[in-house]
């Protein structure tokens, strides 16, 4: 399914984006075919790189974003509910108290769950200090020129990532006839989408933490030569696709991917009669995130940057930004589905029709702030809204 989605996203992209990605693929393949030594990882794994195709650059991003979504937390909550019950899950998932500060400004006093948690952690600091580094979260700030020595706004940020192979980011400097940009690219994607700046505007990025993926429990059966799923009192035909999985030192295996109105089945089986489907905005019918990233790299002001991110889809991110004209601010951008709050707690019945998505929250209604009187914006993993 990710292959189909990746090719579809590339197809709906502009000629400029497709040209850039195609040129990148030609460069990768030229290197592979040259006599230049390959990275040591290929020697250690006794493998050779396959030919790079244009859609691979989209797939790289899709795989990472799918894995960083909210579906895993919902699976965990469902498993936890089996052990301690829904009331127990609610007690340890209290969220923020009504009226609690989302970001604590200088000089303000804070009291709440976060402070209590910090006090508890100090009691076991010797134990927690030996834990492995956690992977996730980032920090980002933008401050007004009224608060800087230079008199122009500043943007700062840092990505909290674990050590990975290949590394999650690759620093690049892209320069062409119409723009130049410095920033972080994801290896395999020839764009600087996170933590970047050109001659006019710069921005950082942190994970938006929005709940954008849902899990639906589906009733499945095989009848009259076709795969079906139950929905609102009738059996509907499911889409199927044969995928080949290559097995190292073994024979390839073919698997049948089943897809319902809620998305592909990622767990369960026809034999059991049950399956778990995942709904993800990034798996929709051709999204325009590639053009959003391309437009952001070419933005010549804060206004143009905001406009560029209007069509950003996945993953939902926070963007602190500033431009050379003295503007600074914050954007929360991505495609967030509108649906029942029940969907946020775990897998929901897919056959009732009571938990369907009702479109997406309009981009204009997502959190944003431009040139606030405070003189600063901050996004450091805190909740960005009070609900």
Gap between the Cα atoms of 353 and 40, Å rounded: 52
What backbone torsions phi and psi does residue 78 show, to the nearest 5 degrees?
A: -65, -40
Q: Coil, helix or strand for 295?
A: helix
What backbone torsions phi and psi does residue 109 show, to the nearest 5 degrees?
A: -100, 140
Q: Coil, helix or strand for 25?
A: helix
Gap between the Cα atoms of 264 and 279, Å rounded: 8
Gap between the Cα atoms of 60 and 66, Å rounded: 10
Residue with tokens 């989302």: 102
Residues annotated as catalytic are 138
Q: What are the C-alpha distances in Å from 146 to residues 78, 178, 197, 371, 373?
A: 49, 32, 21, 11, 11
Residue with tokens 């195609």: 22
Gap between the Cα atoms of 297 and 299, Å rounded: 6
Rounded to the nearest 10 degrees, the angle between the axes of helix 289-298 and helix 2-11 is 50
Q: What is the 3-state secondary structure (H, E, C) of 129-178?
A: CCCCCCCCCEEEEEECHHHCCCCCCEEEEEECCCCCCCCCCEEEEEECCC
DSSP letter at 380? Answer: S
Q: Coil, helix or strand for 217?
A: strand
- What tokens were used for 249? 């030192």
CB within 8 Å of 347: residues ≥ 6 apart: 74, 75, 78, 215, 216, 217, 276
The CA angle 235-236-240, to the nearest 5 degrees, is 130
Gap between the Cα atoms of 123 and 317, Å rounded: 34
């Amino acid at each position: 399914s990710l292959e189909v989605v990746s090719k579809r996203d590339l197809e709906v992209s502009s000629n400029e984006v497709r040209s850039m990605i195609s040129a990148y693929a030609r460069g990768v393949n030229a290197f592979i075919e040259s006599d230049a030594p390959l990275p040591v990882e290929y020697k250690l794994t006794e493998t050779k790189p396959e030919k790079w195709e244009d859609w691979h650059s989209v797939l790289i991003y899709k795989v990472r974003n799918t894995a960083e979504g909210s579906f895993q937390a919902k699976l965990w909550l469902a498993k936890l509910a089996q052990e301690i019950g829904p009331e127990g899950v609610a007690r340890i998932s209290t969220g923020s108290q009504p009226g609690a500060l989302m970001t604590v400004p200088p000089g303000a006093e804070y009291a709440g769950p976060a402070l209590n948690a910090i006090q508890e952690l100090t009691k076991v600091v010797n134990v927690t200090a030996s834990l492995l580094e956690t992977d996730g979260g980032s920090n980002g700030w933008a401050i007004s020129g009224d608060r800087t020595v230079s008199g122009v706004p500043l943007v700062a940020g840092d990505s909290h990532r674990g050590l990975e192979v290949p590394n999650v980011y690759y620093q690049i400097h892209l320069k062409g006839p119409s723009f130049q940009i410095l920033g972080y690219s994801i290896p395999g994607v020839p764009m600087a989408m996170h933590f970047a700046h050109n001659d006019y505007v710069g921005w950082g990025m942190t994970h938006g933490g929005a709940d954008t993926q849902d899990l639906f429990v589906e009733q499945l059966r095989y009848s009259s030569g076709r795969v079906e799923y139950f929905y609102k009192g009738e059996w509907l035909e499911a889409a199927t696709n044969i995928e080949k999985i290559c097995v190292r030192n073994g024979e390839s295996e073919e698997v049948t991917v089943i897809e319902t109105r809620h998305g592909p089945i990622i767990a369960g089986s026809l034999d059991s009669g049950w399956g778990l489907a995942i709904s993800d905005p990034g798996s929709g019918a051709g999204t325009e995130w590639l053009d959003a990233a391309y437009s952001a790299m070419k933005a010549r002001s804060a206004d143009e940057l905001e406009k560029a991110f209007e069509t950003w889809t996945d993953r939902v991110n926070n963007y602190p930004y500033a431009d050379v004209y003295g503007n600074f601010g914050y954007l929360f951008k991505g495609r967030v589905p509108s649906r029942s709050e029940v969907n946020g707690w775990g897998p929901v019945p897919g056959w009732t029709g009571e938990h369907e998505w009702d479109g997406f929250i309009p981009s204009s209604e997502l959190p944003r702030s431009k040139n606030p009187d405070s003189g600063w914006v901050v996004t450091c993993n805190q909740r960005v809204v009070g609900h």
